[in-house]
């Protein structure tokens, strides 16, 4: 599983960090809004459900999950 | 690539410009209709003119994506918001240099972060319950006004806290109204003219500043914990660690309230009307509610999440009734799109009203269909705009609508008083809104007992 984030779209809502803190953190960013920081680009299979929930509930559709 | 090798294509021009005003008359008569004509005649890029100012409508998913992704240095927001400067206050948001604006927007977004949202679902559900407890067992209501009042309460509770909301005075509502009444067409030309509306606005802004400063001071002196937007703004800091001033806190609160109030109340009104126009959808939504709350659970953020049917319904409402007809940016540097260059000094426009009626993206666009598949292109459905300045309150807005209807539909039955097709939009003001009066009849449902 591979996680891709589109930083252009991120406003730092932090839903992802709430759903799956192992993979997503949100931190201050030079360009205004806080933004997501990907902690694991290839998370272990055991986190699939949480990662998918993060992608699904992201208000700005920042996160994409590929196999 | 050298400039000589690039073949620039001219931007298609919308017909019918008149000497002097350009397309102003047609634009003012019916903005969405004019915008649709621009797209039909010219395609993805359509140039028109209001007085001396050239505009380019960018429509179609790709053009909308280019609009949404452009950096602030290329497409600026500030000049489109001059009318709001005296409402929000000097030195707040669009009246600041770009780097300060970005920091204030960051703090503003923090108010609708995940951590706060959990509190909001409960706060909203309580407000709806209190609000409807004033209703009789049955009767007739004018919903445009009802939802304007309800959403003023919910936003005040979420922004300023439940304790403030409980003490909310008639004075606060009146001051807020004075601010709203100053956002008139002429304010977008010169918001400092000696008009009575503007004088009332300036008095209201000053008094609101005093009221909020008092609350800020009370809170700083107490050790109670809060989870509302005011708390977020009081604890937020600029990059150098400096906190917001009380004046800036007031400005951000007003700006947040303005962003969410009419838009949400209009969406709530249309959600109710469309539910009553489509009884089969209403049944589907009610079945889902029954399933979610069958064990009598609370209207929580978690419960709100598990309602895909109601959410699809709301998204279809927002497709056909987007609260904003146009979003405007100022071209700060020549802006390239495909084979075209939109010159510096132009304004570019994106229109949810146009985007949502493109038949290639939404087949039979006028038909209300809650089962419509979500378009693949991320920038096809743009009720909240998109990209870097997408409405930061988008998740809050959906959560609020779900919480309102999860509560209303379980407590009451509704029916339209007038013929369904007589409920329409009002395009005469600065923003589009449901045309009052919108009458509905309501009747309290028998008290539902879990598990029966």
Strands B75-76 and B45-50: unpaired
Q: What chain A residue is nearest to B98 in terms of C-alpha separation?
A: A32
- The predicted structure's pLDDT at residue B79: 75
Grouped pLDDT means (10 residues each) for chain A, 67 residues:
95 94 92 92 97 95 95
A9 contact residues in B (CB cutoff 8 A):
386-388, 390
Encode pLDDT of B111-138 as tens digits: 998 888 888 988 999 999 999 999 999 9
Q: What is the per-residue pLDDT for B451?
A: 40
- Give residue limits of the domains in chain B: 3-444
Domain spanning B3-444, CATH class: mainly alpha
Contact B352, B324 (CB under 8 A): yes
- pLDDT tens-digit readout, B270-323: 999 999 999 999 999 999 999 999 888 788 888 888 899 999 999 999 999 999
Minimum distance, in Å, between the CA of residue B194 and any CA atom of chain A? 36
Of B281, B360, B351, B359, nearest to B316 (Cα)?
A: B281
| Contact of B270 with B321, CB cutoff 8 Å | yes
What is the token pair recorded at B298? 């609370």
Flag whether pLDDT at B1 surpasses 60.
no
Q: For residue B185, give both structure tokens.
A: 């067409």
pLDDT at B17 over 70: yes
pLDDT band at B452 (very low <50, low <70, confident <90, very high): very low
Query: Can you tell me the mean pLDDT for B62-81?
Result: 92
Q: What is the pLDDT of residue B285?
A: 98
- In this structure, what are the phi and psi dihedrals at residue A3, rounded to the nearest 5 degrees? -110, 130
**Residue B438 pLDDT > 90:** yes
Given a contact cutoff of 8 angstroms between Cβ atoms, the answer to whether B240 and B291 are in contact is no
Please tell me the distance from the alpha carbon of residue B89 to that of residue B254, in angstroms, as a whole number.
9
DSSP string, B200-214: HHHHHHHHHHHHHHH
Residue that is written with structure tokens 């919308």 in the block? B14
Structure tokens at A45: 């299979």
Contact predicate B39/B57, CB 8 Å: yes
Percent of chain B, pLDDT > 90?
80
**Residue A11: in which H helix or E strand, if any?**
none
Distances (CA, A) of B201 to B158, B159, B305: 24, 21, 39
Any CB–CB contact under 8 A between B395 and chain A? yes
Number of Cβ pairs closer than 8 Å across A and B? 51
Residues of B in contact with A17 (CB under 8 A): 114
Distance CA B22, CA B52 (A): 8
- Kindly report the CA angle at B417 between B413 and B423, in degrees rounded to 5? 110
Task: Find the mean pLDDT for residues B347-352.
Answer: 97
- Residues of chain A with Cβ-Cβ distance to B241 below 8 Å are none
User: What distance in Å separates the CA atoms of residue A59 and residue A19, rounded to the nearest whole number?
Assistant: 13
Q: Is A57 on the interface with B (CB under 8 A)?
A: yes
Residue with tokens 């985007």: B355
Please, which residues bridge with residue B327 across strands?
B350
Quote the pLDDT of residue B392: 93
Question: pLDDT (tens digit, 9 = 90+) per residue, B200-249?
Answer: 999 999 999 999 999 999 999 999 988 899 999 999 999 999 999 999 99
Site of tokens 């994506």? B65
- Is pLDDT above 80 for B3? no
* Structural domains of chain A ordered from first start: 2-66 (3.30.70.20)
Q: What is d(CA B352, CA B263) in angstroms, rounded to the nearest whole number?
A: 13
**Residue B5: its pLDDT value, please?**
53
Smallest Cβ–Cβ distance between A13 and the set B112, B378, B386 belongs to B112
Question: Tens of pLDDT along B32-57?
Answer: 999 999 999 999 999 999 999 999 99
Res B63 pLDDT > 90: yes
Q: Are residues B209 and B117 in contact, defined by beta-carbon separation less than 8 angstroms?
A: no
| Interface predicted TM-score of the whole assembly (ipTM), two decimals | 0.92
């Amino acid at each position: 599983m591979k996680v891709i984030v589109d930083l252009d779209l991120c406003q730092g809502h932090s839903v992802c960090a709430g759903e799956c803190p192992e993979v997503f953190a949100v931190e201050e960013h030079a360009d205004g809004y806080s933004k997501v920081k990907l902690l694991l680009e290839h998370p272990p299979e055991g986190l699939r459900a949480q990662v998918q929930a993060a992608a699904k509930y992201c208000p700005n559709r920042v996160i994409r999950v590929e196999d | 690539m050298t400039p000589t090798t690039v073949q620039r294509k001219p931007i298609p021009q919308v017909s019918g410009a008149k000497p002097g005003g350009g397309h102003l008359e047609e634009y003012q008569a019916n903005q969405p209709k004019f915008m649709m004509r621009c797209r039909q005649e010219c395609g993805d890029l359509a140039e028109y003119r209001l007085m001396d100012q050239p505009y380019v409508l960018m429509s179609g998913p790709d053009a909308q994506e280019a609009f949404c992704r452009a950096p602030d240095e290329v497409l600026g927001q500030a000049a489109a918001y001059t009318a709001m400067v005296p409402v929000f206050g000097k030195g707040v948001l669009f009246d600041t240099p770009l780097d300060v604006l970005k920091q204030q927007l960051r703090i503003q977004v923090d108010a609708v972060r995940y951590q706060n949202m959990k509190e909001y679902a409960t706060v909203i559900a309580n407000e709806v319950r209190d609000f409807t407890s004033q209703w009789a067992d049955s009767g007739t209501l004018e919903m445009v006004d009802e939802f304007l009042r309800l959403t003023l309460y919910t936003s005040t509770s979420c922004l300023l806290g439940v304790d403030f909301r409980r003490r909310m005075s008639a004075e606060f509502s009146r001051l807020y109204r004075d601010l709203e009444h100053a956002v008139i067409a002429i304010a977008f030309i010169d918001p400092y003219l000696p008009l009575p509306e503007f004088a009332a606005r300036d008095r209201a802004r000053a008094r609101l500043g005093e009221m909020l400063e008092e609350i800020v001071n009370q809170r700083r002196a107490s050790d109670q914990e809060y989870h509302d937007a005011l708390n977020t703004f009081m604890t937020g800091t600029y990059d150098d660690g400096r906190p917001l001033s009380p004046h800036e806190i007031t400005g951000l609160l007003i700006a947040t309230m303005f962003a969410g109030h009419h838009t949400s109340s209009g969406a709530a009104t249309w959600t109710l009307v469309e539910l009553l126009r489509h009884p089969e959808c209403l049944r589907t939504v009610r079945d889902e509610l029954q399933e979610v709350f069958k064990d009598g659970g609370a209207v929580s953020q978690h419960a709100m999440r598990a309602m895909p049917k109601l959410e699809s319904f709301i998204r279809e409402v927002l497709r056909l009734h987007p609260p904003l007809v146009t979003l405007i940016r100022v071209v700060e540097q020549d802006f390239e799109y495909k084979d075209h260059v939109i010159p510096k000094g132009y304004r570019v426009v994106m229109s949810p009203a146009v985007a949502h009626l493109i038949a290639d993206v939404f087949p039979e666009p006028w038909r209300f269909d809650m089962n419509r598949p979500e378009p693949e292109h991320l920038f096809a459905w743009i009720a909240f705009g998109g990209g870097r300045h997408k409405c930061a309150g988008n998740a809050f807005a959906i959560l609020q609508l779900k919480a309102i209807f999860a509560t209303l539909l379980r407590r009451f039955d509704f029916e339209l008083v007038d013929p369904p097709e007589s409920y329409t939009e009002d395009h005469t003001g600065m923003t589009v809104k449901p045309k009052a009066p919108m009458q509905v009849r309501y009747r309290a449902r028998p008290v539902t007992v879990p598990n029966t």
